[in-house]
Homo-oligomer: A and B are copies of this chain.
């Protein structure tokens, strides 16, 4: 029996993923939720793109970048003061070496850029004073920007969902089910958490990708203090009904996961994306609990146990062979 015929309804009622019908074997969505798309032709140095880059980059790079910028700004202005002439900077020892003079110009620059202004070295005359006036304003604007960027980096609402590294096919009631486990990686509270799974697959012998909405045992939970094992029961309504491991790998199945939640700290809706490919499914395993009861009655949740699982036997025939003569349904996007 062809699974596509059975799925007429779910397919037509689901919203299209918008991923297009791409050929090839590359995954649609990477494990970190980014898309496997290389954008060209966009202007890269628009203010928004730079801002987006600066609040998305790692903290290591960001802090290094700020330090570098501070160093470069001071080098540039030190060069300008040196070029204008250090005799316009009162307090600099004109009898010193050229290196010492440049260093003094550099430190004067740093005292100007941060609006520190000790005054031991101070500009005399219009030229040096003008440069200092510009530098101090740039310094203030620069730190105004840094203030905004730091706040933007911290306050950006983002769901940090911990996904189990692998999905499993485990016994479930009298049948089997596709399962994976998620957990809130952060200490904030997520509320009204919803999961949507879309299956991307390629029919044997074809290159066009198809997409199917995958029905879940439960789509939404109200509160999310613990872990949640998302369950797709492989019953007659499942596209995998009667399949075995080889079939699922052959159809190049990729489960695209979209998690939507309400972040209680920032009061905003957040999304998380991930995906499991056929190779990332363990057949015949089940998840072990991540939480236990402490002596004081408080529940203890150990995030380190996200991948804790044990081997289980699947019922035989666990998932049967795909019916070869089935007419496949396609969504061409």
Residues of A participating in the B interface, judged by any CB pair closer than 8 Å: 15-20, 22-26, 35-42, 47-49, 51-53, 55-56, 59, 66, 70, 74, 90, 100, 103-104, 107, 110-112, 114-120, 122-124, 126, 129-130, 132-133, 136-137, 139-141, 143-148, 150-158, 160, 185-189, 191-193, 196, 198, 218, 220-226, 228, 258, 262-271, 273, 291, 293-294, 296-305
A39 contacts which of B41, B42, B124, B303 (Cβ < 8 Å)?
A: B303
Q: Could you tell me if A222 and B258 are in contact, using CB atoms closer than 8 angstroms? A: yes
Give bound CA distance, A157 to B300, whole Å.
Answer: 29
Q: Could you tell me if A264 and B271 are in contact, using CB atoms closer than 8 angstroms? A: yes
Known: A24-B293, A37-B301, A115-B116. 5 other contacts (CB 8 A): A118-B122, A140-B146, A144-B146, A144-B150, A152-B155
Give bound CA distance, A122 to B121, whole Å.
Answer: 9
Given contacts A39-B303, A41-B302, A186-B49, contact A133 B107 (CB under 8 A): yes
Q: Could you tell me if A294 and B38 are in contact, using CB atoms closer than 8 angstroms? A: yes
Give bound CA distance, A270 to B267, whole Å.
Answer: 6
A112, A114, A156 pick with most chain B CB within 10 angstroms: A114
Q: Could you tell me if A301 and B126 are in contact, using CB atoms closer than 8 angstroms? A: no
Q: Could you tell me if B223 and A141 are in contact, using CB atoms closer than 8 angstroms? A: no
Interface residue SS majority, chain A: mixed
Q: Could you tell me if B114 and A137 are in contact, using CB atoms closer than 8 angstroms? A: yes
- Residues on B with C-beta less than 8 A from A55 are 265
A267 contacts which of B38, B39, B266, B291 (Cβ < 8 Å)?
A: B266
A226 contacts which of B18, B271, B303 (Cβ < 8 Å)?
A: B18
| CB-based nearest B residue for A58 | B47
Q: Could you tell me if A298 and B157 are in contact, using CB atoms closer than 8 angstroms? A: no
- Residues on B with C-beta less than 8 A from A294 are 38
| CB-based nearest B residue for A27 | B297
Given contacts A16-B218, A111-B117, contact A37 B146 (CB under 8 A): no
- Residues on B with C-beta less than 8 A from A22 are 291, 293, 299
Q: Could you tell me if B152 and A151 are in contact, using CB atoms closer than 8 angstroms? A: yes
Least CB distance, A108 to chain B, in whole angstroms: 9
A26, A122, A220, A223 pick with most chain B CB within 10 angstroms: A223
- Residues on B with C-beta less than 8 A from A15 are 192, 220-222
Give bound CA distance, A160 to B48, whole Å.
Answer: 10
Q: Could you tell me if B107 and A136 are in contact, using CB atoms closer than 8 angstroms? A: no
- Residues on B with C-beta less than 8 A from A150 are 141, 144-145, 148
Q: Could you tell me if A148 and B154 are in contact, using CB atoms closer than 8 angstroms? A: yes
Q: Could you tell me if B49 and A223 are in contact, using CB atoms closer than 8 angstroms? A: no
12 A-B contact pairs sorted by A residue (CB < 8 Å): A15-B222, A38-B299, A40-B300, A48-B186, A56-B265, A115-B115, A116-B116, A119-B122, A143-B144, A145-B150, A266-B267, A267-B271
Q: Could you tell me if B267 and A269 are in contact, using CB atoms closer than 8 angstroms? A: yes
Give bound CA distance, A84 to B268, whole Å.
Answer: 50
Q: Could you tell me if A23 and B293 are in contact, using CB atoms closer than 8 angstroms? A: yes
